[in-house]
Structure 1
Amino acid sequence: MIQLRNLTKAYVLNGRRKTVADNINAVFPTGVSVALLGRNGAGKSSLLRMISGEMLPTSGDILSDGTISWPVGFAGSFNRELTGEQNCRFVARIYGVDTDEMVAFVRDFAELGDHFNLPTRTYSSGMKARLAFGVSMAVPFDTYLVDEVSAVGDAAFKVKSNQVFNARMKDAGAIVVSHSMRMLRQICQAGAVLENGRLHYYEDLEEAIERHLSNMEQPAG
């Protein structure tokens, strides 16, 4: 379970205050995959970053009785001077995962070949994304945070990525941000709509999608 309690986040942009989370109170149940919907700029990514712990709220609390991933596929925390393998071992030690098992899994999954033993500063953006997705899938979290991630590479690699992710979802939940309604319908059972700093949770995904599409027909508040 992830509970948002009086969660508020505000920015000052060009001299104007923008609130993306306005005293939100909500609960994301354990083991449920939830589509996080909202128009561009509504604050969906900011909300995920706060839930992951990467960003602090202006006020309020985020409580959880399980483990929460970083945003799946996020490569920004890799040490550029360490190799792909060394970064894997570092993450494994932080999260208490067997280092050799993680290295073996990511080596096989990411298909980086000899580059796996080179510094990540030499990687292309696609190579870093494949490494990051592999590392994300190698840690068994209770809830995965997914922000517009799509597997990179050829069709066969995308199929493999989807298979691994779907396998993780059998034993975990997720909060998923995507513009693809098809993807959300494949992954999620419930939905939450973020609009004007307010979050409305729906146990029925189709009801959440209907609310989101209705919001999109209206001018932004």
Structure 2
Amino acid sequence: MDQYALSIAQDELRTMLYANADFSTGRLRLGDYLFQNNDIPGAIKQYETAIKMDSLLLIVYSNLATAYSMNGDTASAFKTLNTLIKKDPKSGRAYYLRGLLNFEIKQEALGISDMNKSIQLDPANTRASYNLATLYYQNKEWNKAESAIKVALKTEPQNGDYRYLLALIYQEQGKTIQSTTLMQQLQKEQAQGRS
């Protein structure tokens, strides 16, 4: 597709998104479009408007919190996630995002608590277990790191990133045979992927 056709398609998409901005879901889509095009302040404005139009459109809250965080407004990100948790206490994603924010501001105990709650509410979100395992690994808590990454691997046993972290953990625990075997499997799979 040439640049001209791409530009026309983008203009048409923008026009359609603005035409649907009378609805909260339209504001959400417009915010997502602006977010994907690195207009974070513009995305924040659209997400905030969507919430004013419909405070029960829960997906907007996590998107808004992420945009606030990317814009350096951690306090607003926390406030938005806390509001989401009040509105939907079973939102594993809200706890996951709040856990990431807590890790970012070095509130590890709160972050660990949020990640564990996220895992409890949404076991399919393996990124929570992975992030928890990574934190434990960085803190040299090898057994906790191993337990956390194995939770993620139960759901995604073939995930290369998760298996690589487990190999590193094994190495630190002195489980050389397990570490070497896993590293060799990963290298073999990577070589097969290239051919």
- What band does the TM-score fall into relative to the shorter chain? 0.3 to 0.5
Q: Which has the larger radius of gyration?
A: 2
Give the TM-score normalised by structure 2: 0.33
The structure with the greater share of residues assigned to strand is 1
The structure with the greater share of residues assigned to helix is 2
Give the TM-score normalised by structure 1: 0.31
User: Comparing both chains, which one has the higher relative contact order based on Cα–Cα distances under 8 Å and sequence gaps of 6 or more?
Assistant: 1
